[in-house]
Structure 1
């Protein structure tokens, strides 16, 4: 057994959660090791829908261009009764929710379709670009922790290695060894009578890029779905089946099920690329942290696939944890790490409720007592940390934004007239301070450096206001509409590294006090 030099963070699991966290740490200069017991990255399309908030995270991580290039807008649903098309509906039509409107501060307003294997590969390549390496075929088998770190045993190719890590993060899926070894509760339910059959195949006999919902008589609850995967010849098939009559996971069984559900023999499947038959679990942990060990992603919560929340919630876990781990390792107060559980556990509970209700609805119209304001937030844009310990409520912005809310994007111009988005200012590992209004008390010599290198400060001015040289000009009025201006009162808006408002205040000293709590 060989001892290895200390590593600040060891991540178990190289799926979307672990890879997002690895990228987040690497771009902050934090060394980490990421291991996965599988011999290769995941090869299937499984979690294929990226929500608008996740696309914003990927923008910040520097992978959005690859994600957009290798995916496509989420297709419409098309219901067939035999060969006849009964209807074609968008995802917002299906769920009874309003689409995101242009100019609402959301740069990526629609769900994006991209097979999971591509998402994993894009994140993997970004981590490598940042200097990292993913160790496949390497399994965490046991660990112990003390006040100073975690001793982890790894097994790879029959060889055993003991690693000393500052922190261990279990991103190792629904059957997480890390979670089980901690003895963390994983409460919820298993839908014992249901199974989901899912996989990737070639298909002949279908036209157009849709989620093809094949039925024999138009009953969407008795369906066989085929989703066309962008940039490939493959379709993802999905079918709910009874546990006591689940077919064998073979191409022949899948073809037979398609014909039984649709009444059609003209749609032919071939080249089975990946297949899985799984039970639906709806569970979450009772805590996200035990000492120096954290849980994230499916290790902390598992969902029905309805509305595409699992991967997206997992990415948000990693995004929340990453900047806090990096800050703690750079000298921030240790209490900052407690805020990960405080912020993410309520979000997971909320999202779990949304996905479970939509699963039970099963493409049926919602009952009257299920209606909610604005419909279910599948886009994850309304999720917030207002009740969390890092939301310091000095005041609200004139438009009603409060500490803990997601910071909207807006199109502006710099002092030369070049277009710039607020998200361009936010992108990176830093805090961003927006100064709205006159800027008289917060500005002056050395303003940009006043809060340190980890804070990028910007003066936001109206196009008809007095120029201050390096202002960001709200040329189209989006900042005024989304954040608000008061020409008589200066307003300081501090945006956290993960794009949420930390504090909204009129007093610069409150910004200083807040920053002492959250950075090294």
Structure 2
């Protein structure tokens, strides 16, 4: 129990799922004081959302866990489809995908949600922060100086900001008075769980479908002996869904898979999923913010949920860190809602469309869940006020639609460092500051001057001017640079500015941060 009002932290995070943990790491590595609590008494071991998309792998590389996630999961798992008991095909929708210099992750990784959370907890512990389990935020009061969070055990925690990452039933969101607009379709539900199954290959994702549109899927979860089981629910004599159980899972499996001698055992998770399509109308009320499922929930098709939440946290982390340090212009935190609410709306729309597509596709012998392959996530925020077009100094390629613009995801590229060692731009961007790249000898002096003036806020590199060498030209091509140019990259690896004029870099930074350049 927390007695009295506990120590004042910069940020209190309610909920230690992938969203809350990512945000905690982002804040901790930027030096913000962070406290993260979770209502569950112990971490779960449930597969739940089970995939990380390529853009999320880029995000988690910056966070510091992508190599560990790739080692724990798998990037290659063919889909094996059966129709009315007959094997139809094996498919790999990403068979022809290849990494490129600007996009190193050509496919996502299959990994259990609990494993992602474990890796994030371990990363957070490297900064000296542990999750406080069995601690639930039930409400709050806020004033000009901070937030007092009320706990289920009667305790209180005082913090500068509170972020609700506490899921679709978020108590933080309810206490904010924020609407959660949308629908819940009780007629469409699915039973899911983690079970073991001897005698079934673990080299493919099994999908048994029938001409009536029903079926069952078993997906082997890497690093475990379990499969994730997915199916429509078993119905009772009145046509009502039965609660999930190992016995009902076995009956469903026997009916649709028709594989003799296979017994499902050792259930570690049994759950019901319903079609919810809901979104908060606001993500911020004063010093309290929402992220992840607390802000938006949607159909599972496409595997967008965990990914969207992680990307929420990545967008919010650097902005909140500047705010807690007293360095952010008051409007900077407003850009979190400005940038992420449209993404949430897109996610709800595309996942609903994909879910409908899958429900139709499984009735055909040739297709299955691959029909839910979503378009790329996290491509940028061109609409944002942080992506205002430059006024005078654009390079000559400004009109090229294939050239990234302010607000877009910043591409990767292989380079050489000052010692001639290979280094990728993504490795350079892992620094928590803004990154300034100067292309061409003509701007090298300005790059050095700006880096010195904004030392604590910006790291600066002259491309082919001693700091980094674009030895194969990939960086120039990725950023569409043919003439001298300055590229300012945000701490969340989106382009902030593309210009020739050093004064525009100074002007941009002065609009969003409260810092005086060094003389």
Determine if the alignment matches structure 1 residue 458 to structure 2 residue 461.
yes
Q: Which of 111, 116, 125 is residue 108 of structure 2 equivalent to? A: 111
SS of residue paired to 1:123: helix
Residue 150 of structure 2 is matched in structure 1 by 153
Q: Is the CA contact 2:40–2:133 (under 8 Å) kept in the aligned structure 1?
A: yes
Residue 182 of structure 1 is matched in structure 2 by 176
Q: Which of 231, 255, 266 is residue 271 of structure 1 equivalent to? A: 266
1:485: Cα distance to partner? 2.8
Partners of 1:92 and 1:357 in 2: CA distance: 21
1:502: Cα distance to partner? 0.7
Residue 49 of structure 1 is matched in structure 2 by 51
Determine if the alignment matches structure 1 residue 228 to structure 2 residue 220.
yes
Q: Deviations over 1:258-303 (max 9, x none)?
A: 1122233333211111111122201101110111110000000001
Determine if the alignment matches structure 1 residue 415 to structure 2 residue 407.
no
**Mean CA deviation greater in 42-51 or 241-250:** 241-250
Determine if the alignment matches structure 1 residue 245 to structure 2 residue 240.
yes
- TM-score normalised over the length of structure 1: 0.90
Where structure 2 has 5 or more consecutive residues not aligned to the other structure, the ranges are 363-371, 515-519
1:364: Cα distance to partner? 4.2
Residue 369 of structure 1 is matched in structure 2 by none
Q: Is the CA contact 2:444–2:462 (under 8 Å) kept in the aligned structure 1?
A: no
Partners of 2:212 and 2:442 in 1: CA distance: 57
Where structure 1 has 5 or more consecutive residues not aligned to the other structure, the ranges are 94-98, 367-374, 462-467
Q: Which of 137, 140, 147 is residue 140 of structure 1 equivalent to? A: 137
- TM-score normalised over the length of structure 2: 0.90
SS of residue paired to 1:336: coil
1:273-422 alignment runs, 5 A limit: 273-331=268-326, 332-362=328-358, 364=360, 377-382=374-379, 384-394=380-390, 395=394, 398=397, 400-422=403-425
Q: Which of 488, 495, 498 is residue 492 of structure 2 equivalent to? A: 498
Matched residue count: 492
**Mean CA deviation greater in 387-396 or 13-22:** 387-396
SS of residue paired to 1:404: coil
1:442: Cα distance to partner? 4.2
1:253: Cα distance to partner? 0.8
Partners of 1:316 and 1:440 in 2: CA distance: 33
Residue 436 of structure 1 is matched in structure 2 by 439
1:232: Cα distance to partner? 1.4
Partners of 2:335 and 2:507 in 1: CA distance: 17
Partners of 1:200 and 1:61 in 2: CA distance: 28
1:460: Cα distance to partner? 1.6
Partners of 2:349 and 2:31 in 1: CA distance: 37
Partners of 2:396 and 2:301 in 1: CA distance: 35
Partners of 1:397 and 1:61 in 2: CA distance: 34
Partners of 2:132 and 2:417 in 1: CA distance: 43
SS of residue paired to 1:409: coil
SS of residue paired to 1:80: strand
SS of residue paired to 2:301: coil
Q: Which of 427, 437, 440 is residue 430 of structure 2 equivalent to? A: 427
Q: Is the CA contact 2:292–2:312 (under 8 Å) kept in the aligned structure 1?
A: yes
Q: Is the CA contact 1:414–1:420 (under 8 Å) kept in the aligned structure 2?
A: yes
Specify whether residues 440 and 503 from structure 1 end up closer, same or farther in structure 2 by C-alpha distance, changes over 3 A only.
Answer: closer
Residue 202 of structure 1 is matched in structure 2 by 196
1:376: Cα distance to partner? 7.0
Partners of 2:476 and 2:97 in 1: CA distance: 19
SS of residue paired to 2:192: strand
Partners of 1:385 and 1:100 in 2: CA distance: 25
SS of residue paired to 1:189: strand
1:245: Cα distance to partner? 3.4
Q: Is the CA contact 1:297–1:311 (under 8 Å) kept in the aligned structure 2?
A: yes
1:409: Cα distance to partner? 0.5
Note the aligned Cα RMSD (angstroms): 2.1
Partners of 1:429 and 1:448 in 2: CA distance: 14
Residue 367 of structure 2 is matched in structure 1 by none
Partners of 1:116 and 1:32 in 2: CA distance: 23
Specify whether residues 220 and 329 from structure 1 end up closer, same or farther in structure 2 by C-alpha distance, changes over 3 A only.
Answer: farther
Q: Deviations over 1:25-83 (max 9, x none)?
A: 11111111111111011220001100011111111111122111111114121101365
1:441: Cα distance to partner? 6.5
1:516: Cα distance to partner? 1.9
Q: Is the CA contact 1:171–1:298 (under 8 Å) kept in the aligned structure 2?
A: yes
